[in-house]
Amino acid sequence: MGSRYDLAIITGGSSGIGYSIIEGYLKLEPDASIFNLSRRKPASFSNVPERQHLECDLSDKNQRKKVLDELERRIRSAKGQGRILLVNNAGFGLYGETGDTPPEEHLELLEVNVCALVEITTRLLPLIKERGGSIMNIASTSAFQPTPHLSTYGASKAFVLNWTLALNDELKGSGVNAIAVCPGPTKTEFFKRAGFKDRVVPAGYSHDPEQVANMALRALNAGKPFTVTGLLNKLASLFSTMLPLALRTRVAGRVIRRFRPNPENQ
């Protein structure tokens, strides 16, 4: 990425893929200013004035509004006036029968995975257009087909993919581009938070978050509108999109059903 950005803003940089994106970015830009929005503070943010944590529960509209006011104020008073990188990474999944999960949990997921991403991006877009820059949105390979037992999650990621591609097209010629990153299974806190039993995907089929972050940053640098991380994930996504929609849904349901939580572990 070289010195392409003066400033980065990330959501969900406290763990997993987001944490690794911050680390990957700081390797290229050790002195860069970076703002993180999440509930927990990233471990590497202590006592470094250029790394600022803004605590926020992104599922809460009032907290989002307050933190975005504060973020804009801090960005406008920061010294650099160069390009901005916005990474919308915060997100989580919910595994189970759709009707067995309380409605508030589905809505919380949509607030974080969809509403926060749209609000943060549209709110910061005028500033990013003024200064130039990029928007990276973390979708998922779940975006390529309906995902029974992860219904709200998969649909939220289909939204992220399609919305980002549409936005990138609209932004042509503006000095700003957008990229949707579609990781496959990655070794993070995601599975536990979603309610899966411990290891749902064999280690050989999942990436480390550092690998995903590096692939995402490379794709951003190459100016791609979207990327699926890793060859197996690329092939699986391509195969899935070649199937008729109803069949694609059935195949996904069969695969995901195999990951049912183990009642003995509950």
Closest chain position to ligand NAP (CB)? 16
Q: Is 153 a catalytic residue?
A: yes
- Give the integer Cα–Cα distance in Å for 218 and 228: 12
- Give the integer Cα–Cα distance in Å for 203 and 189: 14
CB 140 within 8 A of CB 183: yes
Does residue 138 bind ligand NAP (CB under 6 A)?
yes
Does residue 12 bind ligand NAP (CB under 6 A)?
yes
**Residues near 206 by Cβ (< 8 Å), separated by ≥ 6?**
184, 185, 186, 187
| Least distance CB 17 / ligand NAP (angstroms) | 4
Q: In what order do the strands lie in the sheet with 176-182?
A: 51-55, 33-38, 7-11, 84-88, 133-138, 176-182, 226-228
| Least distance CB 187 / ligand NAP (angstroms) | 7
CB 54 within 8 A of CB 67: yes
Does residue 164 bind ligand NAP (CB under 6 A)?
no
- The size of the interface with ligand NAP (CB under 6 A), counted in residues, is 28
| Least distance CB 220 / ligand NAP (angstroms) | 15
Does residue 38 bind ligand NAP (CB under 6 A)?
yes
Binding interface with ligand NAP (CB under 6 A):
12, 14-18, 38-40, 56-59, 89-92, 112, 138, 140, 183, 185-186, 188-190, 193, 209
Which positions are annotated as active-site residues? 153
